[in-house]
Structure 1
Amino acid sequence: MTNATQAQLSRTAEFIAGAKATVPLIIGAIPFGIIFGTLAEPSGLSTAGALAMSLFVFAGSSQFIALGLLSAGAALPVIIATTFVVNLRHMLYAANLVPKVRHLPQKWRALMAFGLTDETFAAVSNRYLLQENIQNAHWFYLGSFLAMYGNWVLCTALGVGLGELFPDMTEWGLDFAMSVTFIGMVIPHLKSKPMWGAVIVAGAMAIATVTMPHKLGLIVAAVCGIAVGLSLQLLLKAQAASEAQSR
């Protein structure tokens, strides 16, 4: 077997592994995508507009916020500014991945930036942050991204169709599945005091700042959680170093 063939098999294996790692998150996102599709027309967005938003924006929470603002008659600059603020959390994800993807060509990094979602970041975190060999990890990322992307667009189209058949679907409570999905993303990482501290503080701050305009409370909660988690991590390292020196 030639080196080129081995490399191709490795890329294919990474791609499939990335898609498989995202399947549990996709299941939770299915109702979320369908509900977005059902809300499109009542909010004043055409079928083509809803599909275009999922194809070119591809940001679940921001798309819902945009629909709400659109139905309320908000101006386009307000919609853009609000969704921008909500998506600032992706900068935190990107900051973790930048050192791992700096070697990739610009086209790859642009594609990965477009595909960066909460679910994909959760799916690829272990692959990128816990494994040393990341030569073909971007193919793992691509598999995760395309699996989630295809699911989101398909569910949007399905929701648009179902919305016409069942106008009251938005009252079925299907959006609860997305909350369960986010909980499922966090739980596997709760293995240390810094992680527990970050999650508890971020959760408490999210509740305390829920009334802040333009969803700014999400950013405040994220920054506070990161600050506490990092502080605890540094404190534990300092304690471990002090104990090592005293022996």
Structure 2
Amino acid sequence: MTTFQTGFWQGFRLMLPLWPGVVPFAVAYAVTARGAGLSLWDTCLMSLTVFAGASQFAAAGQFAGSTLPLGAALALVGTTFLLNARHLLYGLSLSRQLPLSGRQRILAAQFLTDEAFGVVTVAGTRTPGGVTFALLLGAELSLYAAWNAATLLGALAGQVLPGPAALGVGVIFPLAFLGLLVPLLRGRPEVLVALVAGLGAWALSGRVPGGLSILLVGVGGALLGAWLVTRRAPVAEAA
């Protein structure tokens, strides 16, 4: 097995514990899309090409009816942009950790998700070679496979399957990210940034779109962290 294959399957396996949280939401999206009048092919095609859960839910609700007015189409594009604005931060962070070619950047950007970014970032701190393209791609395609398989399942048999709320899977992703965060809290600056960012996200929740709130909190947390580090640096140099 080559080095790339080893890293790829390592990343693929890292995401398996998150599959139980992905599957019910993909099924729920498929049921929503089918209920809005999308065909089986259209429902699956959106998962294959868009691959963004919140945006697909938002889009599925807009597709009811035979035509989509221009205003609704523009609103849909704007909503999708705001919901996914946080990926700007993910991309900037990964570009500092992982040098990629042009093709690799396009491929990694297409399949990047919150879960893949979080898991790979933590895994990179525990792996001697750090984050690699193979590790990142394996993690991304792991969720991609689960999401699309569950979309097909939901499109075919969604009417007889319980929704995410009934299964109680809404806590899986928050708990998973909490588990990823804790090992990164190694000192007072990290704890302070995490606390302020958490309070900021709570204050903004329900007031601005989810993607925009994460972007604002992420930028604010990064600026606070940079200020704390630069503020502490002169003290360390003087010592």
TM beyond 0.5: yes
Specify the alignment match of 1:96 in structure 2.
93
The partner residue of 2:31 within 32, 35, 38 is 38
Once the two structures are superposed, residues 11-64 of structure 1 have per-residue CA deviations (whole angstroms, 9 ceiling, x without a partner) of 221111111222223333233222222322234433322211111011122222
- Match of 1:50, SS state, is helix
Identity of aligned residues (%): 30
Over 3 Å counting, the alpha-carbon distance change for 1:33 and 1:179 in structure 2 is farther
Does the 8 Å contact 1:20/1:144 carry over to 2? yes
Instruction: Work out the CA distance in 1 between the residues paired with 2:192 and 2:58.
Output: 29
Matches within 5 A, 1:74-113: 75-102=72-99, 104-113=100-109
State the partner residue of 1:180.
Answer: 175
Structure 1 residue ranges without an equivalent (≥5)? 1-7
CA distance in 1, matches of 2:117, 2:128: 17
- Look up the match of 1:224: 220
SS of match in other structure, 2:2: helix
The answer to whether the 8 A contact 2:11-2:135 is kept is yes
SS at structure 1 position matched to 2:35? coil
Aligned residue number for residue 160 of structure 1: 155
Name the structure 2 match of 1:67.
60
How far apart are residue 151 of structure 1 and its match?
0.8
2:36 aligned with 1:9: no
Q: What runs of 5+ residues in structure 2 fail to find an aligned partner?
A: none
154-163 vs 85-94, which moves further: 154-163
Which piece of structure 1 moves more, 193-202 or 137-146?
Answer: 193-202
Residue 19 of structure 1 is matched in structure 2 by 12
- Structure 1's 230 and 163: CA in aligned 2 closer, same or farther, altered over 3 A? same
User: Which residue number in structure 2 is paired with residue 169 of structure 1?
Assistant: 163
Aligned partners of 1:127 and 1:137 also within 8 Å: no
Aligned residues: 233
Aligned residues of 1:29 and 1:152 also touching (Cα < 8 A): yes
Q: Which residue does 2:116 correspond to in 1?
A: 120
Q: How far off is 1:154 after superposition? A: 0.9
Aligned-residue Cα RMSD (Å) equals 2.7
Aligned to 1:198: 193
Cα deviation 1:114-168 (Å, max 9, x = unaligned): 121111111221455676746x9211112111111101111112222342224x6
Could you tell me which residue of structure 2 aligns to residue 5 of structure 1?
none
TM-score, length of structure 2 as denominator length: 0.83
Maintained 8 Å contact 2:29/2:151: yes
Q: TM-score normalised to the size of structure 1?
A: 0.80
Question: Does structure 1 retain, via aligned residues, the 8 Å contact 2:26–2:151?
Answer: yes
* Cα distance in 1 for residues equivalent to 2:96 and 2:35: 43
> Which residue of structure 2 lines up, in the alignment, with residue 4 of structure 1?
none
Whether contact under 8 Å (1:193, 1:232) holds in the other structure is: no
* Residues 207-216 or 13-22, more deviating: 207-216
Q: Please give the alpha-carbon distance, in whole angstroms, between the structure 2 residues aligned to 1:46 and 1:191.
A: 50
Counterparts in 2 of 1:46 and 1:213: CA distance versus 1, 3 Å:
farther
Q: Does the 8 A contact of 2:33 with 2:61 survive in 1?
A: no
Indicate whether 1:47 and 2:40 are aligned: yes
For 1:170 and 1:221, locate their aligned partners in 2 and report how far apart those are by CA, in whole Å.
27
Distance in 2 separating the partners of 1:237 and 1:131: 27
Shift of 1:208: 1.5
Query: Is the 1:206–1:217 Cα contact (8 Å) retained in structure 2?
Result: yes
